[in-house]
């Protein structure tokens, strides 16, 4: 393909659908923001945005990075649907098949966080590394894993934000905020947990608030487990909470201390700053990941 080949990309979130036409970082030629209202209305606007680019053949495929939960099983009758979401009106919404039908182009569909991982793997902090873990820590905690160049899909999409980790109730008596698991990782360390524990939102805390070492501690425990479980070459930490860059300086030494020399790797032992890194694409991991997805469409 020529370097001028363009792709359609959607980062579908609970508040907006970011739609773009482009080829990679710095090469987004058109972009629009469509509010997430009701499926019929939102998806009709999405089709309207992309239709001219399909008609004049400037794009030949579409990648969708979608909020979840979604059905990623190609053998399922609801493949490409948003499934049981709490977002009003969006449960059991046909997304990928509908756009494929209405735009009549190949469509690739993945979770928002797996797409972000693919974006970082293609053009960002994960470029040239495999496996890559992208973890977003914000309103929720979610992760995407790129192994052998593609996002890991197993029996279901992984939900690594909900792993259990040690919770020392003498240090942190907060019982956890996850409606499913109480004090799982997300229940202890995502935005709503911070808000509920402290009565203030994370964004309202100063950088020297005494809470941050506890937040870093939970993230470090999770990162330790992911390193031990599948040994990623890059651990990319994104999302609202990780905008606080100083958290990296708390997390890295704690992960090294938790591993305690067990994993014999010079990089892990001496250069944790090369393993645990911020996103290379800033807030564009998702939409660029959707472009990377579109590039894989047949």
Of 153, 172, 205, 209, which lies in the binding site for a second copy, with binding defined by CB under 8 A? 153
Residue 39, helix vs strand vs coil? helix
CB nearer a second copy, residue 37 or residue 265 = 265
**Stretch binding a second copy (CB under 8 A), from 6-14, 53-61, 149-157, 243-251:** 149-157
Does the protein bind a second copy through residue 229 (CB under 8 A)? yes
**Stretch binding a second copy (CB under 8 A), from 94-102, 194-202, 228-236, 285-293:** 228-236
Q: How is residue 162 annotated by DSSP?
A: G
Does the protein bind a second copy through residue 181 (CB under 8 A)? yes
Does the protein bind a second copy through residue 145 (CB under 8 A)? yes
Closest separation between CB of residue 170 and a second copy, Å? Answer: 10
- State the DSSP string of 192-258: HHHHHHHSS-GGGS-TT-TTHHHHHHHHHHHHHHHHHHH--SEEEEESGGGG-THHHHHHHHHHHHH
CB nearer a second copy, residue 230 or residue 246 = 230
Question: What x/- string results for residues 41 through 70 when contact with a second copy is judged by CB under 8 A?
Answer: ----------------------------x-
Q: Tell me how many residues contact a second copy (CB under 8 A).
A: 47
Of 165, 177, 190, 194, which lies in the binding site for a second copy, with binding defined by CB under 8 A? 165
Does the protein bind a second copy through residue 115 (CB under 8 A)? no
Which residues, 274 to 293, sit near a second copy by CB under 8 A? 275
- The owner of tokens 């907060």 is 174
- State the DSSP string of 257-294: HHHTT-S--HHHHH-HHHHEE--SSGGGHHHHHHHHHH
Instruction: Give the C-alpha separation, 194 to 202, whole Å.
Output: 6
Instruction: Give the C-alpha separation, 160 to 16, whole Å.
Output: 24
CB nearer a second copy, residue 129 or residue 211 = 129
Instruction: Give the C-alpha separation, 62 to 112, whole Å.
Output: 14
Closest separation between CB of residue 5 and a second copy, Å? Answer: 27
Question: What x/- string results for residues 236 through 265 when contact with a second copy is judged by CB under 8 A?
Answer: ----------------------x-xxxxxx
Of 230, 253, 271, 283, which lies in the binding site for a second copy, with binding defined by CB under 8 A? 230
Residue 233 vs residues 146, 156, 228: alpha-carbon distances, Å: 10, 23, 12
3-state SS of the chain: helix, strand, coil percent to 5? 40, 20, 40
Residue 120, helix vs strand vs coil? helix
Instruction: Give the C-alpha separation, 72 to 185, whole Å.
Output: 24
CB nearer a second copy, residue 44 or residue 267 = 267
Instruction: Give the C-alpha separation, 221 to 218, whole Å.
Output: 5
Of 216, 221, 272, 288, which lies in the binding site for a second copy, with binding defined by CB under 8 A? 221
Does the protein bind a second copy through residue 268 (CB under 8 A)? yes
The residues that touch a second copy, with contacts defined as CB under 8 A, are 69, 83-84, 131, 143, 145, 147-148, 152-160, 162-167, 180-181, 183, 221, 224-233, 258, 260-265, 267-268, 275
């Amino acid at each position: 393909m020529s370097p001028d080949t363009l792709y359609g990309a959607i980062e579908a979130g609970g508040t907006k659908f970011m739609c773009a036409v482009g080829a990679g970082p710095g090469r987004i030629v058109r972009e629009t923001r469509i509010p997430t209202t009701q499926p019929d209305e939102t998806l009709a606007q999405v089709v309207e945005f992309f239709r001219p680019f399909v008609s004049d053949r400037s794009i030949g495929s579409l990648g969708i990075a979608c909020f979840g939960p979604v059905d990623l099983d190609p053998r399922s009758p609801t493949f490409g649907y948003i499934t049981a979401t709490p977002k009003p009106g969006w449960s059991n919404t046909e997304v990928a098949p509908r756009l494929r039908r209405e735009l009549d182009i190949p469509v690739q569909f993945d979770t928002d966080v797996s797409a972000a991982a693919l974006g970082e793997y293609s053009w960002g902090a994960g470029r040239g590394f495999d496996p890559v873990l992208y973890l977003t820590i914000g309103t929720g905690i979610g992760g995407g894993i790129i192994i052998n160049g593609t996002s890991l899909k197993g029996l279901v999409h992984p939900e690594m934000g909900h792993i259990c980790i040690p919770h020392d109730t003498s240090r942190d008596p907060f019982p956890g905020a996850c409606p499913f698991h109480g004090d799982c990782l997300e229940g202890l360390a995502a935005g709503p947990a911070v808000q509920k524990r402290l009565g203030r939102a994370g964004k309202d805390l100063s950088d020297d608030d005494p809470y941050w070492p506890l937040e870093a501690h939970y993230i470090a425990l999770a990162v330790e487990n992911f390193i031990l479980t599948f040994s990623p070459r890059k651990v990319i930490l994104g999302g609202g909470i990780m905008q606080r860059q100083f958290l990296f300086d708390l997390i890295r030494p704690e992960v090294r201390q938790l591993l305690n020399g067990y994993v014999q790797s010079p990089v892990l032992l001496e250069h944790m700053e090369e393993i645990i890194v911020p996103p290379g694409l800033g807030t564009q991991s998702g939409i660029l990941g959707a472009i990377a997805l579109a590039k894989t469409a047949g």
